[in-house]
Structures are given as C-alpha cells and as structure tokens.
C-alpha cells in the first residue's frame, strides 16, 4: 500500500477565478507526490497556453497532466457573466456525459483516477463519481460567508424573507445565523433580488449548494482566523471542512519550504508587466490599484465616471481595463481631454496585470475592487485596504464583511459610481481613514501569514486534506 500513489482529477468551473484557485491546489497536490489531472475546457485551455507558461510551471512533476473537455458552446460564444446560465446549461447537457465516459474509460488504464475534487457549482460531477465509485470532495472558490448565505436560501424562503419587497434594501436579514446584526437585504447575493423564487440562476445556486453535503467534505480558500464564526455555522451541516487559504500564499509557502520556485501565472489574459516598472517609480503607499476582475463589466458611462473620479482625486492610479469589460461602448474614441491629461500625469492603464505582485508592491496603498473572492483574499493577505464596488453573486456579501466585520475597507455597494463618490472614497481610503484601515488590514494580514506558515491552520488543514485523499483513494477494507 505504501507504494500506491493517489491520482486526483480536478474539475474547475470554467471561469478565471475558479481556475486560479484550482490550479494552485493542483500544484500543492503535486508537491505532496500525487498524480494530478487538471480537466479544463478546450476554450480556457487554449487561452492558458496562449497567455502563460503553464506547461513549464508543472514540468517538475511528471505525474501532472492537463486534459481538456468541451463546454458545449460554440467557439465565438462570449461566456460572459450576463450569459452565465447558458454556460451552466451547456455544462450539464454536454459536459456531464463526456465526463462520465472519460472516467469510465480511465478506469481501464493503469494509472486510473482514484479521487475527484470538483468545483462546488459542478455538482453533476458528484452524480458521476457516485456512479463510477470514485470518492469526491467539493471545492467552493467563494468565501465561507457567501457560501453560508447561499446555504441558508431555503430557510430565508420558508420564513418569508425571500423574495423581499421593493423599497427598503436596508432591512436586516434575520435568517442567516451569525449575521443577524449586520446583514441587510442589499448585502445578499445579487441573484436574490428577484420577485419570484423560480428564477433559474437562483434555483441553480440553491440546488448546487445544498448538494455540497453529498460529497466527502468541503474545501474552502479561506483561513480560520478570518471567518471562524461563519465556519462554525457551516460545520453544523458540513462537518468536514478544509480551510486551506489564502491558496496563492500557501502555495508560495510550501514551494519555499521545498526549495522549489516553480510558480507562474494561470491567467486567461495576457499580463502586462510594464505596470510593475511604473510602480517602481512611485513613492510608498501612493497608488490606488483598480481592477474589476475577470468577469465583471461596466458601461461606458460608468467607466468615464470612475475615470473622472480617479483623476479628480489627484492620486496616482493603476487601472486594469479588460478589452471585453465595457458594454455599450458607443463613441469609443472620444475620451475627454482632461482625462487623457490626468492619466498622463498620474495614471497607468493596462488590459491585465499580475495582481498578486501588484498588491504586494510597496507603492500600492489601496485597491478599488469588484470584491470577487480571489481579489478580496489576495488584498487581505497583502494588507491592502479596499474600496468595494461589487458586481454580482457573492461579491455583495464579501463587500459587507470587508466594511463591517473585518473593517479593512469601504463599501460603495448600490452607490452611484459618480465621479464625486469615487473621488470622495479614494481620498477617504488614502487620507481620511488611512491609518484606521491600515491598522485593521495589517492585523488581518498577519493572521493570514501565520495561517500559511509551518504549523499554521491552513498549513495543517492541507496536510489533513492530503492524508484524507490518500486514505479515501485506497481504503483499507
């Protein structure tokens, strides 16, 4: 038995934030000596190969391999947030039978898959795993607090808190245990802002989250000191939880401990590293970093208001603007002269940036973010205060925890992104509340560093995860 090596298949939901976390976990499992298969969609794997050196990142581990599978969508499909359910429906219709056939064929191979880690919104994988007799763990790439709010949706519906009436968005929600004193209607995930409960996206998240209890355990990219009270609530329903975050930092810690420096980007966009040289030219804590992630979109009018606010704040700014992030572009070429001039003096625009490195740069003082979980936990680890402008899904609740629980940022949820509001909040985070926010941020960052160090909670939970995968792959009976 000692010579048997687990072969773990990882199945991420095909979106940047999910892939990032899953690839970091894949590399950690390689470091444990496991054989690992990373099952990516054809579309996203093509982008990985085009924009990264992902193959060389995993070259030290001959037991690692990429495999690809169709997501069922045509090549030109945008795969954007506003067409989320089209992707979901295609995955369930087209990917599920392909995944089943792949596993059945693989069982006849010498190095057969012995374990599956599937994204928590790919729960069809649990059906297939049960059918072919392979143990499975669920990996939710969102925060514990947002997962718990999803899990409580049935109770909210039963006690009449969903759907909520039009109007008072500041009414407190009482049906999410542990959040009764601060969770407002506006802080619930965006898909709960509905007048009926039979909306497909709501039903999908509701069902997928409840199905988490069917797997052998739940992996979360968080750490105990950040979300301990909410983790206690989740454990009453999902007792076997592995908190192994921040994963990007735990991976770096493990690589360092193993004298291995093989780590690189897993971005689906080409990173522009010239922004790092620009940051090198700036004084410490003088720049606000702006990025709305890999999925969120803004209208052209919103983009211009943010731009005016940043320029009017008189602060230096590094802004990531994806080519596909602006909807309703209209007159693309007509940028007001004052914005062009202000950007020449104090700004730097890129289509994509190496975010972890940017947040760690001494020049960065604050982060204007969409509050996606990867961005949030990366900012937490770097000790960088946030201004939160959540876009959809879990981001609404993440931003509430940033402002009201962890107190390491400001929440502009549901505020107009007018130039006046943007300027005011940028000045507030970099001047008015600077020391207060920095104190909170530094304290939480220290907890994060301890969690991923030798003997820390995330370090130990990863060790437990590795041993559990080993024992479930090769049960004694």
Partner residues linked to 41 by β-bridges: 69
Q: How far is CA 247 from the centre of its chain?
A: 11
Partner residues linked to 184 by β-bridges: 172
Neighbours of 374 (CB within 10 A): 24
Q: Which is more confident, 293 or 446?
A: 446
Dihedral sign for Cα 338, 339, 340, 341, please.
positive
**CA distances to 275, 315, 417, 466 from 311, in Å:** 18, 7, 14, 49
Assigned token pair, 21 = 């976390």
Instruction: Decide: 368 and 389 in contact? Cβ < 8 Å.
Output: yes
Give the model's pLDDT for residue 333. Answer: 62
What is the pTM assigned to this prediction? 0.95
Give the model's pLDDT for residue 264. Answer: 63
Domains and CATH numbers, the chain: 7-266+451-473 (3.40.50.2000), 274-432 (3.40.50.2000)
Q: How much is the average pLDDT of 430-459?
A: 96
Give the model's pLDDT for residue 95. Answer: 95
Give the model's pLDDT for residue 259. Answer: 65
214: Cβ contacts below 8 Å, ≥ 6 apart: 123, 126, 130
Which segments within 200-346 are labelled E, that is strand? 218-220, 241-243, 287-291, 298-299, 316-320, 326-327
Neighbours of 205 (CB within 10 A): 21
pLDDT(1) > 50: no
Q: Of 325, 145, 117, whose CA–CA distance to 215 is shortest?
A: 117
Give the model's pLDDT for residue 260. Answer: 61
Q: How much is the average pLDDT of 342-347?
A: 96
What pairing do the DSSP bridges indicate for beta strands 35-41 and 298-299? Answer: unpaired
Give the model's pLDDT for residue 107. Answer: 84
Q: Where are the alpha helices (DSSP H) in 179-273?
A: 200-210, 224-235, 247-257
Give 212: exposed, middle or buried? Use CB within 10 Å, 0-12, 13-18, 19+. Answer: buried
Q: Which is more confident, 374 or 324?
A: 374
d(CA 157, CA 154): 5
Q: What confidence tens digit (pLDDT) does each residue in 81-128 have?
A: 778 899 999 999 999 999 999 999 988 887 899 999 999 999 999 999
Active site residues: 18, 119
d(CA 275, CA 326): 21
Q: What confidence tens digit (pLDDT) does each residue in 32-61 have?
A: 999 999 999 999 999 999 988 888 899 999
């Amino acid at each position: 038995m000692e010579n048997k090596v687990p072969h773990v298949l990882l199945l991420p939901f095909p979106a940047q934030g999910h892939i990032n976390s899953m690839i970091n976990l894949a590399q950690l499992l390689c470091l444990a000596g496991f054989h690992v298969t990373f099952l990516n969609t054809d579309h996203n794997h093509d982008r990985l190969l085009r924009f990264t050196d992902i193959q060389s990142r995993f070259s030290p581990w001959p037991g690692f391999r990429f495999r690809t599978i169709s997501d069922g969508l045509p090549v030109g499909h945008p795969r954007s947030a506003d067409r989320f359910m089209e992707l979901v429906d295609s995955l369930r219709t087209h990917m599920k039978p392909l995944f089943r056939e792949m596993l059945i064929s693989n069982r006849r191979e010498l190095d057969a898959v012995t374990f599956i880690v599937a994204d928590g919104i790919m729960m069809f994988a649990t059906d297939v795993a049960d059918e072919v007799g392979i143990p499975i763990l669920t990996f939710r790439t969102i925060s514990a607090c947002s997962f718990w709010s999803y899990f409580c949706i049935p109770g909210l519906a039963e006690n009449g808190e969903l759907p909520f009436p039009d109007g008072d968005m500041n009414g407190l929600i009482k049906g999410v245990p542990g959040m009764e004193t601060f969770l407002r209607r506006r802080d619930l995930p965006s898909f709960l802002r509905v007048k009926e409960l039979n909306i497909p996206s709501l039903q999908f998240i509701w069902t997928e989250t409840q199905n988490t209890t069917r797997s052998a355990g739940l992996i979360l990219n968080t750490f105990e000191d950040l979300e301990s009270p909410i983790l206690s609530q989740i454990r009453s329903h999902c007792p076997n939880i592995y908190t192994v975050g921040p994963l990007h930092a735990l991976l770096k810690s493990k690589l360092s401990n193993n004298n291995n420096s093989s780590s690189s980007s897993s971005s689906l966009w080409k990173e522009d590293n010239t922004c790092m040289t620009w940051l090198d030219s700036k004084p410490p804590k003088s720049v606000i970093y702006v990025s709305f992630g890999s999925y969120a979109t803004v209208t052209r009018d919103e983009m211009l208001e943010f731009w005016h606010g940043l320029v009017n704040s008189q602060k230096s700014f590094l802004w990531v603007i994806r080519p596909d992030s602006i909807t309703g572009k209209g007159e693309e070429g007509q940028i007001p002269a004052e914005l062009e001039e202000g950007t020449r003096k104090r700004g730097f625009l890129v289509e994509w940036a190496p975010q972890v490195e940017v947040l760690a740069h001494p020049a960065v003082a604050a982060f204007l973010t969409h509050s996606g979980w990867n961005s949030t936990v990366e900012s937490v680890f770097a000790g960088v205060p946030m201004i939160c402008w959540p876009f959809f899904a879990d981001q609404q609740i993440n931003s509430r925890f940033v402002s009201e629980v962890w107190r390491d940022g400001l929440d502009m949820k549901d505020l107009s992104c007018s130039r006046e509001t943007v300027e005011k909040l940028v000045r507030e985070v970099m001047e008015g509340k600077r020391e207060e926010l920095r104190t909170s941020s530094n304290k939480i960052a220290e907890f994060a560093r301890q969690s991923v160090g030798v003997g820390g909670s995330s370090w130990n939970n990863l060790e437990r995860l590795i041993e559990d995968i080993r024992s479930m792959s090769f049960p004694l009976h």
